[in-house]
Amino acid sequence: MVYAHGASLDFLVKKDDWRLCRFVGSPPPGDLRPGRVLFRVDRFALTANNITYALAGDSLGYWRFFPAEPGWGRIPVMGFGDVVRSAEPRIAVGTRCFGFFPMSRYLEIEPSSASRTQIVDGAPHRVGLAPIYAQYTPIDADPLYSDATADPLLLMRGLYLTSFLVEDFLTERDLFGARSVLISSASSKTSIALAFQVSRGGRAKAVGLTSPRNLAFAKSLGCYERVLPYDALTSLPADTPVVYVDLAGSAAVLRAVHEHFHELRHSCTVGATHWDAARLAAPQDLPGPRPEFFFAPTRIDKRSKDWGGEGLQRRIGEGWRAFCDASRAWLRVVRSSGPEAVERIYQETLAGRTQPRDGHVLSLWDEPAPSVRH
């Protein structure tokens, strides 16, 4: 199907069956009401992490960020957008921002505050949601941005932040007395970032669990002390004091971990790359510690109070640059554009068919977009 180049276009998924998706086109945006700003969404990253947003769409409010017609949702993604119209004197046309966008061509926001370093969407449907997701950062004032690493930033900034915060939480608790961190979905980019942080910190060993298909890749990364397929979990010593960080979200793997390790010190639920086998509520009859859901915005609030905003950003920046440099050895940025490409990559991501080294950067505009290495 061909859509007019300047028309609005939104990618929607069925809330009760994410395999069902469609595009909704509409005329180009009209005049803005006073105080509003229109972004042209340039490009965005799509990873397994975004499927977790759909899984938690109702429980954590991710469907509310970008409202859609009843029964349908717009999955949030990290992207770059350019201000193409502004009825807000504090925000100039041409301002390019990093932030939370829908998989769309345009996004209209209602800034509640705006400065050189941050624009905050104060739209009524965002009330009560985590403030960090309503923030748009002009790239000219973004300490993490560089032209050379713009695509890796899209792909991994959000998931690196989550991994940074998880490792920081575990370190603050002295790893609950453990010295091994068991990480599921070891080939996912969030897990890689966490293993990188754990190994970089030097306080514990990162041990990965993954599918046989991705075993060789995960072993090649160098940030895991050891990587095993899921069905080899029981080959690990049962009396090893261990912390489990669950990125897969598989109920079967969660049970296997809890039943095998007699010295499981903490069980932390972060994601659900195995979304079709996932459950947000932990089973009630698991042995060992009850799994606790890790919500990154809560940890951000705590560390912002502990270290101050600048202190937190400085620590994140130091770790991000080290992780970004290390990822050059394995990350392949794959750019694709147009509605057909977006739907194809979405379905491949949903089905777990994407290659772990590939990072997909997409655009709903029909423009050339070659694959690159950063």
Low-confidence ranges of the chain (pLDDT < 50): 274-277, 279-281, 368-374
Output the CA–CA distances (angstroms, integers) from residue 316 to 4, 78, 197, 291, in the order listed. 41, 17, 11, 26
18-27: which pairs have CB atoms within 8 A and are 24 or more residues apart? 18/51, 18/54, 18/275, 18/350, 19/347, 19/350, 21/343, 21/346, 21/347, 23/339, 23/343
At how many degrees (to 10) do helices 296-327 and 150-172 cross? 120
- Across-strand partners of 80? 43, 98
Q: Residue with structure tokens 């075993």? A: 215
Q: What one-character DSSP code corresponds to residue 43?
A: E
Q: Name the residue among 91, 64, 152 with its Cα closest to residue 372.
A: 152
Please check whether residue 344 is in contact with residue 334, taking contact to mean a CB–CB distance below 8 angstroms.
no
The pLDDT score that the predictor gives to residue 277 is: 47
Structure tokens at 52: 């977790």
Please check whether residue 36 is in contact with residue 81, taking contact to mean a CB–CB distance below 8 angstroms.
no
pLDDT tens digit string along 281-323? 456 689 999 999 898 888 999 999 999 988 999 999 999 999 9
Q: Domains in the chain, please, with CATH?
A: 8-142+331-373 (3.90.180.10), 153-297 (3.40.50.720)
Structure tokens at 206: 């990162």
The pLDDT score that the predictor gives to residue 373 is: 45
The pLDDT score that the predictor gives to residue 367 is: 66
d(CA 127, CA 187): 35
The pLDDT score that the predictor gives to residue 83 is: 97
- Three-class DSSP labels, 115-162: CCCCEEECCHHHCCCCHHHHEEEEHHHCCCCCHHHHHHHHHHHHHHHH
Q: Taking the mean position of all CA atoms in its chain, how far away is CA 44?
A: 12
The H or E element spanning position 39 is strand 37-46
pTM of the model: 0.90
The pLDDT score that the predictor gives to residue 17 is: 93
Instruction: Write phi, then psi, for 165 (nearest 5 degrees).
Output: -70, -35
Measured over the CA atoms of residue 73, residue 74, residue 75 and residue 76, the dihedral's sign is negative
Q: What one-character DSSP code corresponds to residue 104?
A: B
